[in-house]
């Protein structure tokens, strides 16, 4: 009898890459001509990135710089929880708070397991384990097909595939 092979579907962030992207964004903001004379800043505090400027347009420009830096460093933009993407006034400054999302929410985990059940090959099982989904099968080829299926799936999280054994 063949043993079961499995892998885990997770959503994790590389904190060092996020920190580097925020630092690069802050450096670019301090050097760019269109941000001169504008109190513009970007900061990372735990799991929250805060963007501040004197106008909503400048805050969205900072967000554009931050997104490009995150993308270049290989961090998925789905990790940012932007909400309605509208900067809020805070005194004389406008602020946009972007919490970082890590881990699979219950809705995303259910979407993943439903996709594996409905569209995946026969004999593949998907179970939710906290903020991860474990996919197992006797056939490694079936697991490869599930990984391909999940890469094409449009969910509201950055998916990674770990612990393939």
DSSP notation for 14-46: -HHHHHHHHHHHHHHHHH-GGGTTS--EEEEET
Range of the domain at 112: 5-12+103-162
Q: Give yes or no: residues 73 and 109 share one domain.
A: no
Residue 108 has pLDDT above 60, yes or no: yes
Is pTM beyond 0.85? Reply is no
Give me the pLDDT at residue 2, please.
55
Q: What is the DSSP letter of 100?
A: B
Mean of the pLDDT values across residues 31-46? Answer: 87
Span 112-152, pLDDT tens digits? 898 888 888 888 888 888 888 999 989 888 888 888 888 88
Percent of the chain with pLDDT over 70: 99
Gap between the Cα atoms of 24 and 19, Å rounded: 9
Looking up tokens 């092979």 gives 5
Find the CATH number of the domain harbouring 34. 3.30.70.990
At 98, list the tokens: 């972007």
Q: What is the DSSP letter of 9?
A: E
Find the CATH number of the domain harbouring 124. 3.30.70.860
Number of domains the chain is built from: 2
Q: Give yes or no: residues 122 and 69 share one domain.
A: no
């Amino acid at each position: 009898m063949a043993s079961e092979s499995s892998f885990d579907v997770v959503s994790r962030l590389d904190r060092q890459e996020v920190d580097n992207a925020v630092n690069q964004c802050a450096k670019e903001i301090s050097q760019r001509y269109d941000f001169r004379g504008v109190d513009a800043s970007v900061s990372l505090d735990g799991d929250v990135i805060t963007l501040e400027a004197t106008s909503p347009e400048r805050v969205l420009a900072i967000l554009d710089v931050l997104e490009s830096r995150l993308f270049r460093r290989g961090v998925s933009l789905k990790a940012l929880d932007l909400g309605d993407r509208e900067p809020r006034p805070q005194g004389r400054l406008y602020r946009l708070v972007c919490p970082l999302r890590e881990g699979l929410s219950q809705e995303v985990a259910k979407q993943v397991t439903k996709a594996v059940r409905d569209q995946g090959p026969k004999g593949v099982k998907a179970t939710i384990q906290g903020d991860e989904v474990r996919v197992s099968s006797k056939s490694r080829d079936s697991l490869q097909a599930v990984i391909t299926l999940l890469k094409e799936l449009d969910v509201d999280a950055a998916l990674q595939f770990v612990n393939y054994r």
